[in-house]
Amino acid sequence: MAERSRQLPRLVVQVARKGKLVTGEPFFTPGVPLILETKGWGALENGDLAMVQVGPGRAKVERVIGHADRIENVLEALLIERGLRVEYEPHTIPEPSLENRVDLRELTTYTIDPDTAKDFDDALSFRREPDGIRAWVHIADVSYFVPAGCPLDQGAAQRGFSTYVPGLVAPMLPHSLADDACSLRPNVERLTVTVEMPPGDGEPIFYRSVIRSDARLTYGQAQRREAPPVILEQLDMNSELATEWRRRRFARGALEVTTPEVVFSFDEGKVTNAWMEGEPHAHMLVEELMIRANEYVAAFLAGRGREALYRVHEEPDPQAIQLLLAKLADLKVPTPPVPEHLSPHSAAELSGILSHAVAAYVKSSGRGTEAFPALVLRALKQARYDPANLGHSGLASVAYCHFTSPIRRYPDLVIHRALLREIGQSDDALPGDLDGLAEHLSFVERGAGKLEHMADDICLAWLLEDRMLERGWKDPWVGQIVGVIESGLFVLFGEVFEGYLPVRRLPGDYFELNVTGTALTGKRGGRTYRLGDTIEVMIHSIKKSEGKVDLALPDSPADGTRKPKPAKSGVSRPPSGSARGGKRAGASSKRSKRGSRRS
């Protein structure tokens, strides 16, 4: 019976009291209201969010989260319902030991992270020498604190990753490790694994080390150069190296696809603003160093024929690139000459060339700024983990792994153990079933990405409803078509909001999806709604708890003047290319805590 009880479904509901009867309506997914068993929960109020266990006849309240009128409670409820708020396995934190470590405490060192970051995986150091710049990438030595096979390690393997939603995080490791013992805070000694990169193309050196970070910079501070003179000198060397390495990476065929992150501000339980954050120079400073460190470690392990958890991005199917070319041609985007016969390798090379061509076109024309780059990503295979080194097509890397974020990614912890074992500085064994672990982690990563996008959508729906109350419901929004499917259009408007316009609300004709999947075309009048086109839309309905926005045209029967109601559409993301729903096949090593997991 106990086993059966553990398997009963759990979900978050919104509480409603009707006399002595207390019901709960499923919050994130539509469903029938449940009768709640509230014994011991007398403080439940109308509008509260509660985690319940669904049993025969009624549901038992397990946890009260807070009122649904505060966005932090809604986001916390989302993490709880998805099973991401856990009790960590028993563990002890060993005392740091400097034995057999290279002492780098006198080396000038700094970190660059988002403003809200608390866990600092990586730090950087630079020194100018007669033949060039020597660089050090220091990564938190999590494997020292989490022995292979211990209960906490097994739990971390199941969790796989830290999951980030706006303003909150469900850490892979307990806060005592993630935010303290392993975190590379300024002005304290921390244990690290260092990749030392000699000037030019010298062979990298790997070793365990101890550092003391001199400064904790945010991206904004690094961008504005708000730092002591000694750190500014470091930033100058950092920029010099990173700029050259990025030039080389693009020259060898790496993708150039920028996927901005949506960023939020909050106050008193409300979402007060949202904006798209692109890639300022400060992001590149860290990104290129992390990519280089990941490549060096992967090449070292692969060169010795070692299995590990490589980050692989296989070459695209030639047919997918041929379809991409057809889509771009249909959209009047100039493309380079195409070989007569495309192999997977030539298709991979062509995808890199196309990514640069599309980036240049949208920059010069202003068309399809969100829609066209997403087409390139969707033509590619999805990056994943594998015990064998299969290369990374998107980065044009012959060997690649995730090494630089072991606090929040379990694959990085496995790579640390493989590296340290190979250089004779650890005896920790790798997991026995690397194939199964790679498949599990790839699956968990995809689920975490979907959850993070849903959390963004929920925050945007909250903000949009407040904006509509301020601006009124009669004024249209100017947007861009970023996705097209047989049943409707996805439109990006107000710079950050995305909604769905069902084909049934396109008046005056019968519309069909064209052969390339880039447009809906009217059968009688020939009116066409195409990817990248500008369009005026009205808000038809907002479903805040699901993060869904339904749209209408200003001249359609549903003219958008009504107040929000639950959206009936079950459509979420377009398969043909959405601004915020595209696959992240390219490099994004440190754009944000979330983006760092996707490349």
On whether the CB atoms of residues 389 and 312 are closer than 8 A, the answer is: yes
Percent of the chain scored above 90 by pLDDT?
A: 78
On whether the CB atoms of residues 413 and 325 are closer than 8 A, the answer is: no
Domain residues for the domain of 21 are: 2-68
In a domain, 327, yes or no: yes
User: Cβ neighbours of residue 74 under 8 Å, at least 6 residues apart?
Assistant: 27, 49, 68, 458, 462, 545
In a domain, 587, yes or no: no
Question: Does the pLDDT value for residue 556 go beyond 80?
Answer: no
Between 190-199, 221-230, 518-527, 529-538, the lowest mean confidence (pLDDT) is in 518-527
On whether the CB atoms of residues 462 and 469 are closer than 8 A, the answer is: no
Q: How many domains does the chain have?
A: 2
In a domain, 331, yes or no: yes
SS3 477: strand
Residue 598: what pLDDT? 53
Q: What is the per-residue pLDDT across 477-496, written as a single tens digit (0 to 9) for each? A: 999 999 999 999 999 999 99
On whether the CB atoms of residues 90 and 200 are closer than 8 A, the answer is: no
Residue 293: what pLDDT? 98
Helix, strand, coil percentages for the chain (3-state, nearest 5): 30, 25, 40
In a domain, 28, yes or no: yes
Q: Tell me, what amino acid is at 257?
A: V
Q: What is the per-residue pLDDT across 50-106, written as a single tens digit (0 to 9) for each? A: 999 998 878 999 999 999 999 999 999 999 999 999 999 999 999 999 999 999 999
Last residue of a domain, one of 361, 378, 395: 378
Give the pair of three-digit tokens for residue 72.
């932090």
pTM for this one?
A: 0.90
Q: What is the per-residue pLDDT across 397-426, written as a single tens digit (0 to 9) for each? A: 999 999 999 999 999 999 999 999 999 999
Q: Output the DSSP codes for 30-70.
A: ----EEEE-TT-TT--TTEEEEEEE-SSSEEEEEEEEETTS
Last residue of a domain, one of 378, 404, 424: 378
Residue 582: what pLDDT? 39
In a domain, 326, yes or no: yes
Q: What is the per-residue pLDDT across 121-154, written as a single tens digit (0 to 9) for each? A: 999 999 999 999 999 999 999 999 999 999 999 9
Among candidate residues 261, 585, 581, the one with its CA nearest the CA of residue 400: 585
Question: Does the pLDDT value for residue 583 go beyond 50?
Answer: no
Confidence of residue 201 (pLDDT cuts 50, 70, 90): confident
Residue 256 carries which DSSP code? -
Question: Does the pLDDT value for residue 26 go beyond 90?
Answer: yes
In a domain, 442, yes or no: no
Q: What is the per-residue pLDDT across 270-309, written as a single tens digit (0 to 9) for each? A: 999 999 887 778 899 999 999 999 999 999 999 999 999 9
On whether the CB atoms of residues 104 and 115 are closer than 8 A, the answer is: no
- Count Cβ atoms below 10 Å from residue 115 Cβ, excluding itself: 9
Rounded-to-integer distance, Cα 542 and Cα 69, Å: 15
Question: Does the pLDDT value for residue 568 go beyond 70?
Answer: no
Last residue of a domain, one of 68, 86, 103: 68
In a domain, 7, yes or no: yes
Confidence of residue 341 (pLDDT cuts 50, 70, 90): confident
Distances (CA, A) of 323 to 131, 297, 316, 476, 577: 47, 35, 12, 34, 13
Question: Does the pLDDT value for residue 596 go beyond 60?
Answer: no
Identify the CATH number of the domain in which residue 26 sits.
Answer: 2.40.50.140
Residue 376: what pLDDT? 94
In a domain, 324, yes or no: yes
